Amino acid sequence: MDLYSAIQYLLFLAIVTSLVKPLGGYMARVFSRKRTPLDRLCLPLERLIYRVTMVDPDAEMTGKEYATCFVLFGLAGTLLLYATLRLQQFLPWFFPQYHTTPLSPDLALNTAISFSTTTTWQAYAGENTMSYFSQMVGLCAQNFLAGAAGLAAGGAFIRGFARQVSDTLGNFWVDLTRALLWILLPGALLGALLFVWQGVPMNFHRYKVAITVEGATQVIPQGPVAALEIIKNLGTNGGGFFNANGAHPYENPTPLTNFIAMLAIVLVPAAFTHTFGRMVGQPRQGWLLYCVMVFLFGCGVAFVHHFEQGGDPHLAKVDFRNSSVQSGGNMEGKEVRFGISGSTLAAVVTSNTATGSYNSMHDSYTSLGGMVLLVNMLLGELVFGGLGTGLYSMIMAAAIAVFLAGLMVGRTPEYLGKKIGPAENKMIMLYALAAPLLVLSLTAIAVSTRLGLSGLTVNGGPHGFTEILFAYTSCFANNGQNFAGLSANTPFYNLTTTLAMLVGRFGLAIPALALAALFGRQRITPSSSGTLPTHSFSFGVLLTTCLVTMVALSYLPALALGPVLERSLLGR
């Protein structure tokens, strides 16, 4: 690894780590309804929203009520966005000469669910399909609302561990409002100004038509790019304004915007670990979870960089070495302005979070480099992860590790003084088994049917298998990025990926909130000499080992049929 790449990776982690405590503490105050520096601006708006919507901010909800509101809010957002997309030709800023891709009912439904679940899976080219009205009022608004809903669910999940003998987890509408006003809106405003400063467009102009030096006609799309660009990253959404997403020079013009975008993706989910530690009264628990995330993240960066910098060993006569006159490595599908390191950082950040904001074509990565990105998502969206959802994915994994440790020593497993009994175990197992059951089943159906195989218009064999597995994994993880060799805009893939997105969002949130409700009803048991310390180095090793083992047991045969077999056959 060259010095520049190492400095970029270390600087990124250093900035994130330095902001975990202040940002995490701030979010703990927001969800605990304590004083914050933004109260003078946000409190009047909050009171106005409650007055207009007739919400009682002091009313608390049970776990079942909270989960119901979370699901209904997501479905309502889906219906509104679906209507916007189906009617966009009758709404402002629609240019029929340029927006030529028809939004069929199945594509519109897939897109609506995609954005309302923070997946932002895109089976279309944005500049040829979406009007400015659809981008701003539809997609951008859902990026804010769905991201805030995820933060709200994460806050409620934490309360289940923090409270004792309580039947409630808070108020969904209050948490949603505070996540919007105190966290996402200020962050998006600041980030959008930084992007505009770096040259990201923010306008409502018509598309420009230019004549190239060769005499050809070129259409140059315009639009309010900066507004969508920041919230797609800050809200861990990832949907691109343009088809090329973060590789497009309008969305991501400089290495600085690339670095800022990656920070925007990671900061809030990373800091949420400290929010967890602060709200449960044990900050060391939050730091332990963060350290496990950083370790797995570092491993991903090191492996992807190694595989991509090494290039294709099948091309023996090509010089893949990095030097002052060439970037070296596998530059297929990567932007020269980002190089191996900028592309690797973005690929690992986005595959570890619920953000498909890629800046390079992952379909062109080496087989093992692409496998690392796939494994990042198969881990369960817990290395930073999405807003709120990443934290409860990691806590679920920690609960499994505690349970296994309890079996080894013959004690009833406990986590943060709360016992993990039969009811709690059922919710944990539902959560853990959902991904392999759905992802592997949908992949098996796709690779064994004509409708599924028809999407492989470019690649077959093990790489085609990887493209299909990657698609369903990405949708279930509410990530949204894909291997571009799969033609996914068909009724089959629009409907099956929709199912994966819905289960990945609501099918995981419901057992997570149910577990939080079960924990909230318990009284905290004081620690004793027999209590497993879940903030120690040894528990961090156990948790990491448990995560890797679960992925291997669930997905190793599928990985062997895809990227591992491709590496063996093609030498790359």
Average pLDDT over residues 44-70: 92
Cβ(485)–Cβ(462) under 8 Å? no
pLDDT band, very low/low/confident/very high, at 413 (cuts 50, 70, 90)? confident
Question: 158 vs 485, which has greater pLDDT?
Answer: 158
Average pLDDT over residues 206-234: 87
Cβ(129)–Cβ(103) under 8 Å? yes
pLDDT band, very low/low/confident/very high, at 292 (cuts 50, 70, 90)? very high
pLDDT score, position 304? 92
pLDDT tens-digit map of 344-399: 999 999 988 888 888 888 888 888 998 999 999 998 878 898 888 888 889 998 88
pLDDT score, position 406? 77
pLDDT score, position 128? 85
CA 512 to CA 392: how far, in whole Å? 7
CA 415 to CA 397: how far, in whole Å? 11
Consecutive H or E run containing 169: strand 168-170
Phi-psi region of 2 (alpha: psi -120 to 50; beta: other; left: phi over 0): beta
CA 85 to CA 502: how far, in whole Å? 19
CA 5 to CA 335: how far, in whole Å? 15
Average pLDDT over residues 67-79: 93
pLDDT band, very low/low/confident/very high, at 418 (cuts 50, 70, 90)? confident
Which residue has tokens 């990491």? 544
10 Cβ neighbours under 8 A, 6+ residues apart: none
Q: What is the mean pLDDT of the chain?
A: 88
Average pLDDT over residues 437-465: 91
Cβ(515)–Cβ(64) under 8 Å? no
> Which two tokens mark 266?
């990671």
pLDDT score, position 5? 85
Residue 318 has pLDDT above 70, yes or no: no
C-alpha gyration radius of the chain: 23
Residue 571 has pLDDT above 60, yes or no: no
pTM above 0.75, yes or no: yes
For strand 168-170 and strand 414-415, is the pairing parallel, antiparallel, or unpaired?
Answer: unpaired
pLDDT score, position 320? 63
pLDDT score, position 79? 94
In single-letter form, the type of residue at position 146 comes to A
Average pLDDT over residues 274-291: 92
CA 420 to CA 93: how far, in whole Å? 54
Mark out the alpha helices in 89-224 (DSSP H runs).
Answer: 105-116, 126-129, 132-133, 141-162, 172-178, 185-197
pLDDT score, position 500? 93
pLDDT score, position 243? 83
Domain ranges (residues) in the chain: 21-264
The angle subtended at Cα 383 by Cα 378 and Cα 386, nearest 5°, is 90
CA 567 to CA 88: how far, in whole Å? 45
